[in-house]
Amino acid sequence: MTDKHTNIILVGLMGAGKTTVGKLLARHLDKCFYDSDHELVRRNGVTIPVIFEVEGEAGFRRREEAVIDELSSLDNVVLATGGGAVLSAQTRALLKSRGTVVYLRGTVEELWQRTRHDRNRPLLQTADPKARLRELYTQRDPLYREVANVVIDTSRQNVNTLVRQLEQKLAGMPD
């Protein structure tokens, strides 16, 4: 059976730090770390941009939905999701029932600074990636808030500070 509070699920936009913070948080809490993107890459043997290229965003979303369903049904894990996972209503319902959901929030400026040199995020391969991030923020911020039990502001906070802050918040949460 899945105990709601044994899993920690991280949501938020690209560059929020889900992968980086998640890995460190898992080590601190002695939980297994999974990242839905890493799992898709490992299983399919191709990069995220290649999945987008071959199957389009819709194909990627189908795979993402399935892998998040599978990983969130495990116990005692920290799961970093991809930024677009919450676009699926099915995934939103699932996440809320399978763990404590943490929204890592960041300003568009910071998210952009953290992602601007990375070619591994196909949605940002546009003429104006910062404007794209702004659009995605407007569209998705309400969805992240809808699923989150905890919202953490990552602005001007280093990863170690964020992990400490998160540990404190999680420890103070009711069972």
Ligand X SMILES: Nc1ncnc2c1ncn2[C@@H]1O[C@H](COP(=O)(O)OP(=O)(O)O)[C@@H](O)[C@H]1O
Ligand Y SMILES: O=C(O)C1=C[C@@H](OP(=O)(O)O)[C@@H](O)[C@H](O)C1
| 83 labeled part of a ligand binding site | yes
Q: Which does 98 bind (CB under 5 to 8 A by kind): ligand X, ligand Y, Mg ion, none?
A: none
Cβ-based neighbours of 1, under 8 Å, separated by 6 or more: none
Sign of the dihedral defined by the CA atoms of residues 156, 27, 66, 57, in that order? positive
**Closest CB 3 distance from ligand X, rounded Å:** 25
Interface with ligand X, residue 129, by CB under 6 A:
no
| 157 labeled part of a ligand binding site | yes
Longest distance between any two alpha carbons in the chain, whole Å: 47
What track of x and - describes contact with ligand X for positions 57 through 96 (by CB under 6 A)?
-----------------------x----------------
Give how far Cα 164 sits from Cα of 63, 110, 140, 170, Å.
32, 20, 26, 10
Interface with ligand X, residue 7, by CB under 6 A:
no
C-beta nearest to ligand Y: residue: 82
Binding segment toward ligand X, per CB under 6 A, in 39-47, 57-65, 144-152, 154-162: 154-162
Q: Could you say which of 36, 133, 154, 163 contacts ligand X (CB under 6 A)?
A: 154
3-state class of 88 per DSSP? coil
Cβ-based neighbours of 127, under 8 Å, separated by 6 or more: none
Interface with ligand X, residue 2, by CB under 6 A:
no
Interface with ligand Y, residue 18, by CB under 6 A:
yes
Burial classification of residue 148, based on how many CB atoms lie within 10 Å of its CB (0-12 exposed, 13-18 middle, 19 or more buried):
buried
Nearer to ligand X, 170 or 174 (CB): 170
Q: Which does 107 bind (CB under 5 to 8 A by kind): ligand X, ligand Y, Mg ion, none?
A: none
**Closest CB 113 distance from ligand X, rounded Å:** 8
Token couple for 89: 């209503």
Interface with ligand Y, residue 83, by CB under 6 A:
yes
H or E element in which residue 96 lies: helix 89-98
Residues belonging to the binding site for Mg(2+) are 19
